[in-house]
Every structure is written in C-alpha cells, then in structure tokens.
Chain A
C-alpha cells in the first residue's frame, strides 16, 4: 500500500489482508513527518504513543478482530482539541505546556476505533486567522510550494533568489491539518471550522475539507472560539474518506448539549451516475469582489459540467451575503471576548509572576499570553458588548444572522438541493505577500465565501477541482441542507470523479514511499 492510497478503498483492505501492518504504516508516516519538518505542520509528534497504538492495532488484526475501518489508520489532530496526556497549545503562549487531562469526544471516538494518533497540528493562534501564519510556533508551509507542479510554473526572478522565500501559505486556521493530509503524513486529520477554517486550507492544499452541520459532531473538548458556530472539521484526500470519518464521529454526545439527539446512521456513498434529478443553485452574490478570473472561470465550467450531465442548474440569490462577513465579525469577537475570559493563569496555562492582586495578575498573564490578534478580538468584542453598544451591534448582528439563515432557507425551499460556489477568492498567496495585510483584513477577505455556511449552521465541503496557472490547487465548495450530509457528499463524490484532481508530486514522498506510484490517468479539469 502506498501512503497516497485512499483510506477506505485501499489502505483498510491492505491492513485487513496483511499486505501492510499498522506499525509499518505508522513508521512510514513518522519518517515522512521528519523529512517534511520544514512544512511546520506539526506542533507535537506523539511518536511513542503512536507506535504503541499501532502495535496494539497489529495485535487486533493478527487475531482477526480489527475494531473497524479506522483501526491502525494514522491520523492527526489540530492542536485546539484536548488530547489526554498530550500538550494542547492552540499555538499560543497562553497554553504552552498545558497537558490536557482528557480527550475531546471526537479524539476519544477515533482512538476507540483504533486510529493511531500521530500528533497535533499547527494553526493560527486560537484558530483566529486565515493563513495559519499567526501561531506562536511559526507559520505552516503549503506542501504544494515544494511540488513539481508549482516549481515548474514559478519563474525565479534571479538566480540568487532564495527559493525558500517563494513558499505559499496553507490558508487557515487548520493549515497544519491540511498540510499534513496533503503531504501524505496521515490519512485524515481533524480541523475546526468557525468561519471557513477547514475549507479554506483544504482549498489551498488540494484536499477535501468537510464542515458538518452545526450540532452533528460533538464540540466537547474543542477549545471554543464561537460557541454558536464552531464545528470540528474533517480533512481527507478523497470524499469517500470524509464519509468514513463522518460516520465515526457524528452523533449525539451527552457532554455537548448542542449536539442534536436524532439517531445518526453512518452511510456509504453511492456511486451517483444520474444527476438529472439534481437541482444545483449558483448564488450570484458569491461572485464577490476580488474573485480571481481563474476561479470564476472554473466555477462556470463546473456549473456547465452539471448542466451537461443533465442536472438543473439555476442562478439563485442570497441577498445578505455581503453583510455576512460583518455580522460574523461582530458575533465572533463578542463570543471570543467571553470564551477567552477563562484564560487567567489560575487553573491552567501561562501564569504571570505578578502577584500584587488577582486583577493585575490576570491582566499581566493575558498581556503576556495572547498575541495581537487575540487581544484585538477580545477588545473589539468587549466594545460591541458594552451596555451602550449591545443593541446597536450585538443584537443587530444577531438579527442580520437570522436574515442570512433565512436567505438559505428560502433558496432550499424553492427546490434547490445544493449550492455550488467557489471556496476562496484566489489560489494560495506567497507568505511574503500574505503578511502585507494584517490578520483582521485578511480574515475578512478570505472568509467571505465560507463563513455564511457557519452563520446558518449548514454543511459545506471543499472539493479540490484543478490547478491554477501557478500550479497551485483551487477548490470549489458545495453547501447543503441541514443534516443532509449524505446528499452533500454524494454530489461531492460525483464531482470529484469528474474533475480528476491531480496528485501532488513531492520529492520527499517519492523517496519514502516504495509503493506503486498512483499515476492517475487524469483528464485534467482545467
């Protein structure tokens, strides 16, 4: 089995048939993590425990009693999920050295099914950002920066130009997870999605990024950013794998009262051949200012793809789209102001040496522990929540939120099954270009296409579609109805099959993977 194999269709079978053992798989992934260290995708690599888990899995396979399809599969988890006995930092000084005393529900579920936890991935500090550049452990590099496809297209400005400075960002905030999946160091990774934090890096790194419906997957143990919008996100290399992960994670959790109580039945995705009964909506407002002509063309081509296959493709309107980012800005900072209040140095995390008074200790701890971005959002949030501003900003934003959610309801009620939109405004920017603007400006720009789905709680998925002129991945987004993940993923899987997105050609992986190169005879989409 090759590291680039799809989990469900190939690796699981290989494990069952003994063609590869969990320890071999684990060791190969760990070796690859070491050789791709320059990507800075991992904050913590749990080598010892991973190998132990792999050994235990191997025992189960020997006895013919694997726990399920995820048994022995190496996975990575974003560092804002609590993992028992393992440092959980949220890429912040505030939590450096914090060893979680418990597992987040989603982590526990993965471990209960025998998954092998390779480590915790890098992110923007406290998941605030759209580049994975603002964490205390430094930025994450997009594996595609080192791909043959990107290198071929980039023209060095001079011979002496440092190739190092040409690398592109992963997007964020789950950049580490996206990079880990994209560079084959794990088969799946957990991210989180509050405004697009799973779908954005998925688009830039050429992987599948699923944001499930709010309330489907437990948030217990996910260090919260915006309680009314956060969801755990799933990053995989193909849609089928995302369905597998979803199946193992979804369902009511008594420890998270915001999870719905309906029974969830894991599903296998059918191979859709007939899309004639499908109605695809193209929201015109998603042709947002700043959308690159390349992506606009790709989006149009995708719409034609559905039309030519017999689906009904209609232009729809979500009139409040352009206010959704403003609304998000207010609600997010307000909830952040509340959620970050727990970090005072008393019970966990960084604690300042100041000891004159509780308040001065808290203030000093927070001054020392949080970066500019986090502090900025806390202060803004507190401003919007001041008595004199509460109605004007916070309640107003909540009203606008309802209007945004209603826009989607109207469209879905009019017979549209699924929406097709771009995921990002352009392909990944180079790091030097990205840091020209501050975090808030970037987030406001980059979240524009993804965050309305968080406002309305709807499921959405990024499917890698084609390579840009610069040789970098571009993805398209599907947004579905609440709790209709099966339909969403079925359509996404059909689309994925049509576009045949190319496999990343990385030198490091070639050296490590003595498996057969998956030469996809791909009819490239663009």
Chain B
C-alpha cells in the first residue's frame, strides 16, 4: 500500500520539512512497512505506557520566579532581532499549496 500524494503533501506541510527526492518517499514507505510488524503483537487489555516513571509523582516546583533577566543572552543567538523582539516574516500567509511549492512531490 503506497502512501498517497495527498498524505505525503500533508506530511510536508505538517512537518515543514520536505521529502527531497524519491529516496525520501521510499524511506517513509520502508519505515511504515517496518512499523507494521507491531500488529503481530497481541496488546488486548494492555494500557499504553507514557513513561517508565509512571508510578511516581512528578516533581512540581513552587510557583516562584527563581531566575530570569537574561533577555540579552537569549537575543544574542537570533539572527534577526529588533530591540527586544525576535523578527519573523508575515505569519498570516499559509504555505503554498502543492502546485505552487517547489517540492519533489509536484512531479509525482
């Protein structure tokens, strides 16, 4: 069962990384095939496990400020900043649909 172009496109959109070439798509196909082996295991009545420490109480700190005031250090690592802001391109423009994007999937 091959993954449809619609799903591949959807994945590129969700992940914001691209498949790049046929190898990338093959990689996903193989990954799914590999994962399908899980269905051989009988998991009736088994609860999913989130964490091996599920029997313990997670540590919660008091809601007190213990550190901060590191604006300068944090801004230093960003390429584009203005005063104390990180600068992003316009956010209300969705990623172009398949037809408009320069993606390998266009050819499929």
Interface pair B95/A379, CB less than 8 Å apart: no
A367 within 8 A of B: yes
A382 lies within 8 A of B11 (CB):
yes
Across the interface, name the chain B residue whose C-beta is closest to A393.
Answer: B35
B52-87, CB under 8 A of A: which get 1 and which 0?
A: 110010111100000000100110111110000010
Q: Does A287 contact B (CB under 8 A)?
A: no
Q: Is the CB of B86 within 8 A of A347?
A: yes
Let me know if B52 and A228 touch, CB within 8 A.
yes
Q: Secondary structure at chain B's binding surface: helix, strand, loop or mixed?
A: loop
Output the nearest chain A residue to B59 by Cβ-Cβ distance.
Answer: A257
Kindly list chain A residues whose C-beta atoms are within 8 Å of the C-beta of B47.
399, 402
Contact among B16, B18, B30, B40 for A323, CB-based, below 8 A = B40
User: For the complex, what is the distance from the CA of A295 to the CA of B48, rounded to whole Å?
Assistant: 35
Supposing A327-B38, A376-B24, A396-B39 touch, asked if A362 and B59 sit within 8 A by C-beta, the answer is no
Instruction: Point out the residues of chain B lying under 8 angstroms from A175, CB to CB.
Output: none
A337 touches B (CB below 8 Å): yes
Cα A449 to Cα B32 with chains together (Å): 22
> Binding site of A, secondary structure by majority: helix, strand, loop or mixed?
helix
B76 A101 Cβ-Cβ under 8 A: yes
Q: Produce 1/0 per residue, B9-48, CB < 8 A to A.
A: 0111011111110011001101110110111110100111
A395 at the interface (CB under 8 A from B): yes
Residues of A within 8 A of B60 (CB): 257
Cα–Cα, bound, A379→B54 (Å): 28
A379-B17 contact given A326-B35, A333-B31, A359-B93, CB 8 Å threshold: yes
Closest Cβ neighbor of A327 among chain B residues: B38
Contacts A326-B35, A384-B35, A402-B48 given; does A260 touch B56 at CB 8 Å: yes
Q: Are B74 and A402 in contact (CB under 8 A)?
A: no
A370 within 8 A of B: yes
Give chain B residues whose Cβ lies under 8 Å from the Cβ of A327: 38
Q: CA separation between A400 and B38, bound complex, in Å?
A: 8
B4 → A minimal CB distance (Å) = 12
Interface size on B, residues (CB 8 A): 57
B27 near A99 with CB under 8 A, answer no
Q: Are A380 and B28 in contact (CB under 8 A)?
A: yes
CB contact under 8 A between A355 and B89, given known A98-B77, A99-B76, A379-B19: yes
Q: For residue A185, give the distance in angstroms from its CB to the closest CB of chain B.
A: 29
Chain B residues contacting A259 (CB-CB under 8 Å) are 59
Question: How far, in whole Å, are A366 and B52 apart by their CA atoms in the complex?
Answer: 32
Interface members, chain A 64-116 (any B CB < 8 Å): 98-99, 101
A357 near B49 with CB under 8 A, answer no
C-beta contact mask, A372-393 vs B, less than 8 Å → 1, else 0? 1001101110111010000011
Residues of chain B with a CB closer than 8 A to A396's CB: 38-39, 41, 43
Counting CB contacts under 8 A, is A506 at the interface? no
Enumerate chain B residues within 8 angstroms of A403, measured Cβ to Cβ.
41, 43, 46
Contact with B along A163-189 (1 / 0, CB 8 A): 000000000000000000000000000
B107 contacts chain A at the CB level, 8 A cutoff: no
| Interface status of B96 (Cβ within 8 A of chain A) | yes
Flag if A363 contacts B86 (CB, 8 Å). Answer: no
Besides A372-B23, A376-B28, 13 other A-B contacts (C-beta < 8 A): A261-B59, A346-B86, A354-B89, A360-B89, A360-B96, A363-B18, A375-B17, A375-B19, A379-B11, A379-B12, A383-B3, A392-B39, A398-B50
Q: Which 3 A-B pairs have the closest CB atoms?
A: A457-B52, A398-B48, A357-B93
* 13 intermolecular pairs with C-beta atoms under 8 Å apart: A99-B76, A101-B76, A214-B53, A320-B41, A326-B38, A329-B35, A330-B35, A357-B95, A398-B49, A399-B46, A400-B43, A402-B46, A403-B41
